[in-house]
Amino acid sequence: MKQFSEIQQNIARQAVSETVFLSGSAGVGKTTAALAFLNALRDTGISGNSIMILVPQRSLGMVYQNFLETLGDFNGGIVTINTQSGLAQRMIRLFWPIIGHQTPFENPLLSPLFLNLETSQYYLDKICKPYFEKGYFESVHLEPPRILTQILDNLNKSALVGFPYQAISERLKSAWNLAPGHVHAYDEAQEVANEFRRFCYQHNLLDFSLQIEIFRNYLWPSLLCRQYILQQFPFVIYDNCEEDTPSMHDVMLELLPQSNGGLVIFDEEAGFRTFLGADPISASRLKSVCRTSLSLSEPFHQRENMEIVREVLNSALNGERLSHIPNTFLGSFSHQYDDFHPNMIESMAVKINELISDGVKPAEIAILAPYVSDALRFQIEQQLSKFDIELASHRPSRSLREEPVTHVLLTWAKIAHPDWGLVPTPFDIRQAFTYTLQGIDPLRADLLRQVVFQSKKEFWLNDIFSVNLETQERIGQFISESYQRIIVWLHEYQKDPQDLDIFLARLFGEILTQPGFAFKDNFQAANVASKLIDSIQNFRQGWLQRNPLQISNISKEYIETLENGVIAALYLQSWDEQPVNAVYLSPAYTFLMQNRTVQYQFWIDIGSLGWWQRLLQPLTQPYVLSRNWLPGQKWTDFNEYETNQANLRRLCSGLIKRCENGLFLHYSGYNESGGEDRGPLLKAVQQILRYSLNSQGSDYV
Amino acid sequence: MFKPRLKQIEVLNYTGGRMGVSAVPGSGKTQTLSYLAAKILADGRINDDQEILIVTLVNSAVNNFSTRIASFMQNFGLLPNLGYRVLTLHALANQIVRERPDLVGLDNQFQIIDERETHAIIASSIDSWMHLNHTVLENWTREDKSLDNPKIRSGWQRALATIALNFIRKAKDLQASPAQIEKLYQLLVLEDPLLSLGISIYKDYQRALNFRSAVDFDDLIRYALISLKMDEEFLERLRFRWPYILEDEAQDSSALQEQILSTIAGVHGNWVRVGDPNQAIYETFTTASPEYLKDFLLQPDVIARDLPNSGRSSAEIMNLANELIRWTNENHPLPALRNALTKPYILPTPPSDPQPNPPSIPNGIFIYDKEMSAQEELQNIAKSVKNWLKDNPDSTVAALVPRNDRGAKLVDILQKENIPYLEILQTSQSTRDTAKILAEILVFIQNPMQMANVVRVYENFDKIFINSKHRQLNETIQLLRSCPRMEEYLYPFPGKDWLQSKTDEANISDPQIFSNLEHFRQYLVRWQAAADLPIHQLLITIGQDIFSEPTDLALSHRLALVLEQALRNHPDWLLPEFVDELKLIAENRRKMFGFQDQDTGFDPELHKGKVVITTYHKAKGLEWDRVYLVSVNTYDFPSAQLSDSSISEKYFYKEPLNLEAELLARLEALVKQNIEALYQPYGEATEQSRLDYAAERLRLLFVGITRARQELTITWNSGDPHRLGAEKNSASLPLIALQIFLETKNEETS
């Protein structure tokens, strides 16, 4: 059972009967106080049904989910963990019949269709096509998917911040203080956004921005809906409110004064999700509507040395002349330079192994980089595996397109439907055989492919009986029989072909998971197959109901759209799949959103500009599209520089606050792309080194 | 420790402002400039958060500068690698654009496409243009040549691709977008099929770049300047960061380079430019010109210095180089070319100089004036190199070729003759070796049943892990070739294990062969199993299995990223396409941006006993005891004479025109709205381009001569007798002039 400090228990008791605004920096035990609050509510006999936990993103709810699981029964109810969009979707579903006719949708009597990111992108892509052909967006140098993402992002910002979507372009243009450059692309993006909105209204499609807008403009103002929420959830926990958006804060400003009890948690010096609309200034308004305001300042774990590291690094980042570095500093701060990138990873792996050999648990070590490319992740995984150390990496989403299993399943779908005209390559066929037929190796798969695959025939795969006996013998009898079974099954299927998802479900169940086939007992393959089928069904949903784009063959459309990268078919990897006792790798900002403290952190690629630079996107600008930006005010290089500097200081400070014992910095002469990096973080570290050497009485003058 | 001579001290006394230094070849300018950088740092003239910016022309010089400055700083008791930044212009532009990509409509993740992707985009646009403009092309083709002839057609494809590429580069140099050019073209109601071709391809090309979120090398430079000019505050920030700019090889500075550096330096900034106008060799179809440096040196606020003494070559070699200057200035048959090379002459180092000239060798210079075919010339050079290496195993030697393809042919001969060599042509040797090994393994993964693929991988495997004697290697390969069914070697079924059966037969002399093959099998099976990994992971996996040197591992990682980028551009690609991509790098047909390997700081002294094959251009900044200058004929070193053949004037063109030059002249006239120039008849630009090219080739020859320390051999060839439509070449005019000079001198001496 989780232990709570007395302070946390006091806060919990207080929050049962009144709303409490709890602030403090990372690692002081605020979220644990919220768990104590849940505990107190349960002890008081409050049903779980009366409690809503609100978090800015799903991953931040995991700590509550896990805690609630340990608690067991919550007085016969279930605690709801929601995000802003989760709440909006739930309310829209519930109240659509009441508010539908007030909205601008053309068919309020039809139920709304929620779009996820990929289906939004898919529709927007179709809408954008004629604009691309007319030469739109030529002044920005972006590939179409990134243009789509930024247009959607602008729509989302307008909804989250609370200004009309028609004003996006004007806001962006009014902040531009330089020569016209690519500014007219803002107008082009606005035109396309307007068109997309019209399309959504016409077909009852609700992308993220519309979900938020409908909630904000029609549901929350409705007395019925508001009463429903208040009565349903008299107790509220709102964690990491500084990472949430002004429109959510607006709702909470009105909800909190009417709550029976609640805890609002505000992390000082945070607000890392600015590019997603997070607004800590707006969040701080919540303090005024809570009955009590408390602050925690004592760190949960002793980390005095790390506080020194934080202060020294902060001074260097501020460009202050260092006057004194305490002796204890070097005990918790070390750095390593290597000429080449792979050497840097190797040095780090050696150091991690030393720590683990000294008794540190792998899960107490985090490797943080500004960006984590697949190649980098793989390289680190390989190096650590030499010491039998496992790596868990944060990969919030992964494209199904990247999975060989997806490739194999779609190859079989193409073979089963030659009329689609999607001919697999010989390499596809070999891969499909290798993955499907139990006991086959790549060489025999290649041999089999050579003798049975004929793309010019009506059906591309021959029977095994057409192959001479000697070759059959080389392939092996068992494999030949399995192959023939799949051929027979495919011929049978072709008599009554079905949609792609049904085909895959049948192929998977009736053949691939049967004895003789390699998917039997392969749970990971089953997982991917199931996600793929889900993704196809989700994609198909629109067609089943309305087919707004009049596509005749949805299955073929799905495969082509997936293969050419327009939809990524992203799926969330389950958190519990990660090895538990493993070193953790993630982008630095992502780590900050994990509510996690470790003993040791390794920062790599510290020369990269990525530590300092915000996400720059030519068609959008999170600071200008925020509530804190005065319309008409110009965004200058000074703003850009100061914002980046402030972000870097906040990032470093936030990371060190989540580190208890030691910080290791690694960098290389050449980065992984062969370039040389000298970003501001590296320069600050060099300043510290220069000072340390100096103060040690070296020859340096 | 570096002991500067008097003229070098004058340069080192610099404290601030603008300074121009004219330096002859071998005058120690890199050393002086590096020392100056270290001295500024040692004097404490910049803050902790500032850097001296050193801009140089090519990657090979970056390491060279960095190493020297670091060494000087250590001697001064300073921390090396702090307080300065050595960058090529492209790397500098990349830095600037990366910091504020939003200013030019880019996001943080933009990619830089390399030459191979550029060529692929242009080639596909050219194909569709040719398809739609058959009649236009017919009008441009000589009557006796038909477009139906595949050779003529592919000749046009190549020519138009080069023309379009240069059009795009020039347009970017002139800072003109496709839309701007098209607007002007329409405004002036022009009907010029050549301009129309250029505009159409440029438009397609830029659209293709946009769709990849990509920029090319020229965009980088253009965008850097736009960013600096667009945002004054950003510029101020960079000015603070780089309070001193030291520019090397300033004679090859382009208009844009000069603008970028002068913008960063500001009117009263600290900017030192060092160069040798006689070594300007990158001017063709660019805005680069030695005139910028010459003009700079003449400005009233510029401190003008010179480094006239050179300790590199023997007196005999220096005299020959000086004679080339004198002959050009006084005796070149075309007055328009007489200022292609300029004084001062190269002076020897003063007595008791710390960097004295090497002594002359009797008959150290040899100009072979007899006619040879292109092939004979290379064979003779190979023969001469072979003999010389035998007698001089501890000396350095290089053969300089005008083009990469000539270099490749020479390499073929050297390989056949077993003459040790090292080539530095497009990509570096180790990049290609690494790419080749990885490509061969990928070919095996893709096509595992083919014995030839397995044998190729084994040869590499043996070289890396076993290093067996020739006989053992042959025996192993022979045994491998005898395997009738590859699956029974790599994935044996019980009772059908080929390797086991051979072991049992025991008719192989060396049992080690079996264990080698067993070991080899483990790797092959492992790589086959990794085939489904994403391409970058597959490459990293293989790289880690076979390489141990840091540079090789870094290169594997770099190649993995190149392929990862290719995958982003071509999501439909599978293993076979990636194999092709790697092969292109391995075959030297593709350049890569950024770090390649430690050869970037190439040191000829490390390759004694081998002949280095490189181009005249790549040889700049390097020196060898003996140098061969190849192909000094009227084709590669023309003198703008009527009898000279021109590389750019194709035999199938209707008119003897340089279409590139004509198009670029019109483009410039259009962008600058120079109506008169726009309506000039075709021909003038061709004439001017011949003069420009001849001038640059004179300087290239000067660069070639001054690479030699003590021995120099110059040859020429009459061309390939089998080449279609090609006329016979003669010895170039400067070669004849230098030979007469030598003969006269020899007569005087005797």
pLDDT attached to residue A96 = 94
Instruction: From chain B, pick out residues whose CB is under 8 angstroms from the CB of A701.
Output: 77-78
| In chain B, % of residues over pLDDT 90 | 51
- Asked if B105 is an interface residue toward chain A (Cβ–Cβ < 8 A), one would say yes
Question: Does residue A573 register a pLDDT over 60?
Answer: no
pLDDT attached to residue B600 = 45
Instruction: From chain B, pick out residues whose CB is under 8 angstroms from the CB of A140.
Output: 105-106, 210
How far apart CA A513 and CA B417 sit, in angstroms, is 61
Q: Range with the lowest mean pLDDT among A180-184, A591-595, B5-9?
A: A180-184
Contact A374 B564 (CB under 8 A): yes
**Measured between alpha carbons, how far is residue B500 from residues A262, B515, B517, B520, B624 in Å?**
74, 11, 11, 14, 54
Tens of pLDDT along A126-171?
899 999 988 899 888 888 888 999 999 999 999 999 999 999 999 9
Chain B residue at shortest CA distance from A183: B105
Question: Does residue A694 register a pLDDT over 50?
Answer: yes
Instruction: Work out the average pLDDT over A558-573.
Output: 68
pLDDT attached to residue B547 = 80
pLDDT attached to residue A465 = 87
Contact B49 A638 (CB under 8 A): no
pLDDT attached to residue A214 = 96
How far apart CA B261 and CA B634 sit, in angstroms, is 37
Distance from CA of B535 to the nearest CA of A (A): 9
- Asked if B48 is an interface residue toward chain A (Cβ–Cβ < 8 A), one would say yes
Instruction: From chain A, pick out residues whose CB is under 8 angstroms from the CB of B110.
Output: 141
pLDDT attached to residue A58 = 87
Q: Which helix (H) or strand (E) holds A42?
A: helix A30-44
Instruction: From chain A, pick out residues whose CB is under 8 angstroms from the CB of B448.
Output: 442-443, 446
- Asked if B724 is an interface residue toward chain A (Cβ–Cβ < 8 A), one would say no
CB A235 within 8 A of CB A273: no
Nearest Cα to Cα of residue B87 among B657, B626, B594: B594
Q: What is the DSSP string of B395-462?
A: S-EEEEESSHHHHHHHHHHHHHTT--EEEESSS-HHHHHHHHHHHHHHHHHHSTT-HHHHHHHHHHHI
Beta carbons within 8 Å of B523's beta carbon, 6+ residues apart: B461, B545
Instruction: Work out the average pLDDT over B394-407.
Output: 92
How high is the mean pLDDT of chain A? 89
Tens of pLDDT along A386-401?
899 999 886 655 667 7
Q: Which of residues 441-460 of B touch A (CB under 8 A)?
A: 445-449
pLDDT attached to residue A387 = 94
Question: Does residue B611 register a pLDDT over 70?
Answer: yes
Tens of pLDDT along B388-398?
999 999 999 99
How far apart CA B253 and CA B247 sit, in angstroms, is 9
Contact B553 A670 (CB under 8 A): no
How far apart CA B71 and CA B79 sit, in angstroms, is 10
Helix, strand and coil in chain B, % to nearest 5: 55, 10, 35
- Asked if B526 is an interface residue toward chain A (Cβ–Cβ < 8 A), one would say no
Question: Does residue B369 register a pLDDT over 50?
Answer: yes
Instruction: Work out the average pLDDT over B369-374.
Output: 91
Record the tokens describing residue B42, joined without a space. Answer: 């040692």
How far apart CA A614 and CA B32 sit, in angstroms, is 40
Q: Which of residues 156-215 of B touch A (CB under 8 A)?
A: 179, 206-207, 209-215
Contact B106 A141 (CB under 8 A): yes
- Asked if B59 is an interface residue toward chain A (Cβ–Cβ < 8 A), one would say no
Distance from CA of A281 to the nearest CA of B (A): 26
Question: Does residue B432 register a pLDDT over 80?
Answer: no
Distance from CA of A588 to the nearest CA of B (A): 17
Instruction: Work out the average pLDDT over A500-519.
Output: 91
How high is the mean pLDDT of chain B? 88
Distance from CA of A637 to the nearest CA of B (A): 6
How far apart CA A55 and CA A240 sit, in angstroms, is 7
Instruction: From chain A, pick out residues whose CB is under 8 angstroms from the CB of B207.
Output: 138
DSSP β-ladder status, A570-572 and A397-399: antiparallel
- Asked if B494 is an interface residue toward chain A (Cβ–Cβ < 8 A), one would say no
Nearest to B211 among A143, A340, A375 (CB): A143
Chain A residue at shortest CA distance from B595: A674
Tens of pLDDT along A334-344?
989 888 788 89
Contact B554 A701 (CB under 8 A): no
Contact A141 B528 (CB under 8 A): no
pLDDT attached to residue A701 = 25
Distance from CA of B491 to the nearest CA of A (A): 7
Instruction: From chain A, pick out residues whose CB is under 8 angstroms from the CB of B215.
Output: 141
Distance from CA of A341 to the nearest CA of B (A): 6
Instruction: Work out the average pLDDT over B492-502.
Output: 88
Tens of pLDDT along B51-93?
999 998 877 778 788 889 988 988 887 777 788 999 989 889 9
Tens of pLDDT along B531-551?
877 888 888 888 878 887 766
- Asked if B728 is an interface residue toward chain A (Cβ–Cβ < 8 A), one would say no
Tens of pLDDT along A268-280?
888 888 888 999 9
Question: Does residue A571 register a pLDDT over 50?
Answer: yes
- Asked if B461 is an interface residue toward chain A (Cβ–Cβ < 8 A), one would say no
Distance from CA of B602 to the nearest CA of A (A): 17
Instruction: Work out the average pLDDT over A671-675.
Output: 74
Distance from CA of B502 to the nearest CA of A (A): 19
Tens of pLDDT along A320-376?
877 778 878 888 999 898 887 888 999 999 999 999 999 999 999 999 999 887 778
Q: Place B597 in a pLDDT band, splitting at 50, 70 and 90.
A: very low
pLDDT attached to residue A574 = 44
How far apart CA B729 and CA B721 sit, in angstroms, is 10
pLDDT attached to residue A699 = 33
Instruction: Work out the average pLDDT over B121-132.
Output: 91
Q: To which residue do tokens 């003109």 refer?
A: B176
Question: Does residue B286 register a pLDDT over 80?
Answer: no
Contact A340 B528 (CB under 8 A): no
Question: Does residue A569 register a pLDDT over 60?
Answer: no
Distance from CA of B544 to the nearest CA of A (A): 9
pLDDT attached to residue A700 = 27
pLDDT attached to residue A397 = 56
Residue with the bigger pLDDT between A222 and A117: it is: A222
Beta carbons within 8 Å of B572's beta carbon, 6+ residues apart: A563, A564
Contact A375 B179 (CB under 8 A): no
Supply angle C-alpha A6, A7, A10, rounded to 5.
85
Nearest to A443 among B207, B490, B540 (CB): B490
Question: Does residue B749 register a pLDDT over 70?
Answer: yes
Supply the ipTM of this predicted assembly: 0.80
Nearest to A375 among B91, B99, B564 (CB): B564
Supply angle C-alpha B626, B630, B636, rounded to 5.
145
Q: Which of A35-44, B492-501, B605-614, B741-750 has the highest mean pLDDT?
A: A35-44
Tens of pLDDT along A518-550?
887 777 788 888 888 888 887 777 655 566 777
Tens of pLDDT along A448-484?
999 999 888 888 999 998 999 999 999 999 999 999 9
Q: Place B379 in a pLDDT band, splitting at 50, 70 and 90.
A: very high
Contact B536 A375 (CB under 8 A): yes
Interface test with B, best of A136, A141, A408, A639 (most B CBs within 10 A): A141
Instruction: Work out the average pLDDT over B717-726.
Output: 72
How far apart CA B234 and CA B104 sit, in angstroms, is 13
CB B302 within 8 A of CB B643: no
